[in-house]
Chain A
Amino acid sequence: MTINLDEERDKTLIEEIIELGGHDLVKCYQCGTCIADCPTGIADEPLSAKRIIHMIKLGLRDRLVEEQTPWMCVTCGGCEERCPRGAEPFEIILAVRRWQCREDETYIPLVLGEIYERGHTQNIVNASELRKSLDLPEVPPTVIDRPEYLERFRKMLRETKVVREYGYIFGIDEEE
């Protein structure tokens, strides 16, 4: 990627990413250890924590919004473990995802709505017959099968920022 230094640069970007969880971002000295062992390194467009941190430091807001690679992360923790500066690159990648969701809500994974709806990413109820044939409870006693727990779970989630701000993802009418 070529960086045009005449591009619009935003000095507050770094503070926003720190605020969203990339607390140790400034420790990065661009050594590239984070890329060395990243599984996505084999891809045509690999995830590079080093490059993303550099973009943040340069304040390239518009480019960061469009950057798709943070969502390729396999969450393996390799970069986090090996960073010689303790910059916590994995936490920075998660912070960038959060920042992108805030800047462009189409980034918000719709699976959040499913977790609100039934407590799980998967609809375990669909496996009832299979589970029964394995001599397991047809539905496990998790929140998906306990309406009183599900109501409390949702009540708690309705206090969170993401549910308050993006009610439509959770089937909540914002007019209410």
Chain B
Amino acid sequence: MPEFGLFLGCNMPAIRPDVEKAIRESLPAVGVKLLDIEGAACCPAFGTFYSVDEEAALAVNAWNLALAEKLGVDIVVQCGSCYSTLKIGRHKILNGWKEVIDRYLQKADLTYTGKTDVRHIIDVYRNVVGVEKIRESIKYSLDGMKAVVQNPCHVLRPSKIVGFDDPEKPTALKDITEALGAKVPYYEREKQCCGGSGGFAKRDKKANLEFTKKKFDSMKDEIDPDLIVVSCITCLLHLDSIQEEMRKQGMIDYKIPVFDYSQILAICLGKDPDKVARLSVTPRDELIGRVLDNRI
């Protein structure tokens, strides 16, 4: 049975712990053992140490990598930006920064050789678990439903460092969503960033709303999806809550439920929706009810 250290990051365990619950239920149910990375910290996010002191940022990356390496496992992570900083950080540490970073780790009584790598959860579902295993494990399906997928930017670019999928035509998240029985048609703004990361939404709310509206209108007009499937805590929070803001401002008049992939998978596996998909701004109950009517 493959084993991974589950890297939680900061937002998921604090704001959407139902996603953490969904991951802890779903991955083991499809044959992946999860270990806790005791002592793990912030990844650190690009807006924190990376924006002030690169050496400090790499030291914090190394702290997390070293703790996973002590367990003898690779890291699995859902948050796109945690994935990206850990993966880029690892790349830098192993390509020129190692001696400098080793001195920091020494102060913390840790070592990192580079053995432990970082995998995004989409990569693990698609390439470690596989679509067949997912298909044969589910008890309920998305048969008859249309989904759109939101690939986290951070798992696609820069592809030479973080990539496991085609950066211009990613298929992994689509493949594993189709394995649940949904149709995942293409729409024009499929690859548009959710707009939730970094300082954009905070610094120019109006532009951010207009930007995200373009994406929503494109999916609504071209597909009229039953649900949006994401696999990043920022995409989840932003695409869920910004709909409410757009509705309040009269920018849109529709609601599209948003699920993290592990949440919709957990529901299809028969896990309790009140534990694995309890928290959302845009209502999801009706969609969950339809899935539970689709017993295989």
Chain A residues within CB distance 8 Å of chain B: 20-21, 39-40, 42-45, 68, 71-78, 80-81, 90, 94, 97-98, 101, 108-109, 111-112, 115, 119-124, 126-127, 130-131, 134-136, 140-143, 146, 149, 152-153, 155-157, 159-163
What is the minimal beta-carbon distance from A141 to any residue of chain B, in angstroms? 5
Any chain A CB within 8 A of the CB of B254? Answer: no
Q: Which of B10-18, B133-141, B173-181, B284-292 contacts A (4 or more CB under 8 A)?
A: B10-18
Complex-state Cα separation, A68 to B59, whole angstroms: 27
Q: Which of B104-112, B113-121, B245-253 contacts A (4 or more CB under 8 A)?
A: B104-112
B48 proximity list for chain A (CB < 8 A): 109, 111-112, 115, 121
A90 proximity list for chain B (CB < 8 A): 158
Q: Is the beta-carbon distance between B46 and A94 smaller than 8 angstroms?
A: yes
17 extra A-B contacts, CB within 8 A, seeds A39-B211, A94-B50, A131-B17: A40-B207, A44-B207, A71-B51, A73-B199, A77-B84, A108-B52, A115-B41, A115-B60, A127-B13, A130-B17, A135-B21, A135-B275, A141-B39, A142-B38, A149-B39, A159-B104, A163-B56
Partner of B21, one of A120, A126, A136, A155: A136
Enumerate the 7 nearest inter-chain pairs by beta-carbon distance, A residue then B residue, closest first.
A77-B157, A149-B39, A122-B14, A160-B56, A76-B153, A43-B207, A162-B53
Q: Is the beta-carbon distance between A146 and B10 smaller than 8 angstroms?
A: no
Any chain A CB within 8 A of the CB of B54? Answer: yes
B44 proximity list for chain A (CB < 8 A): 115
Q: Is the beta-carbon distance between A74 and B53 smaller than 8 angstroms?
A: no
Complex-state Cα separation, A78 to B162, whole angstroms: 13
Chain B residues within CB distance 8 Å of chain A: 8, 10-11, 13-15, 17-18, 20-21, 24, 36-42, 44-56, 59-60, 63, 81, 84, 103-105, 107-110, 153-154, 156-159, 162, 167, 192-193, 195-200, 203-204, 207, 210-211, 275, 278
Closest to B162 in A: A77
B167 proximity list for chain A (CB < 8 A): 81
What is the minimal beta-carbon distance from A145 to any residue of chain B, in angstroms? 9
Q: Is the beta-carbon distance between B197 and A76 smaller than 8 angstroms?
A: yes
Given A43-B207, A101-B52, A161-B55 in contact, is the A72-B13 Cβ separation under 8 Å? no
Closest to A148 in B: B39
A156 proximity list for chain B (CB < 8 A): 59, 63, 104-105, 107-108
B51 proximity list for chain A (CB < 8 A): 71, 94, 97-98, 101, 109
Q: Is the beta-carbon distance between B157 and A112 smaller than 8 angstroms?
A: no
A20 proximity list for chain B (CB < 8 A): 54
A141 proximity list for chain B (CB < 8 A): 36, 38-39
Closest to A166 in B: B52
A71 proximity list for chain B (CB < 8 A): 51, 198-199, 203
B15 proximity list for chain A (CB < 8 A): 122, 127
What is the minimal beta-carbon distance from B275 to any residue of chain A, in angstroms? 5
Closest to A155 in B: B107
Closest to B152 in A: A76
Partner of A72, one of B17, B55, B198, B210: B198
Q: Is the beta-carbon distance between A68 and B203 smaller than 8 angstroms?
A: yes
Q: 11 A–B contact pairs at CB < 8 A?
A: A43-B204, A68-B203, A73-B198, A76-B153, A77-B156, A81-B156, A81-B159, A109-B51, A112-B49, A142-B38, A152-B39
Complex-state Cα separation, A138 to B240, whole angstroms: 25
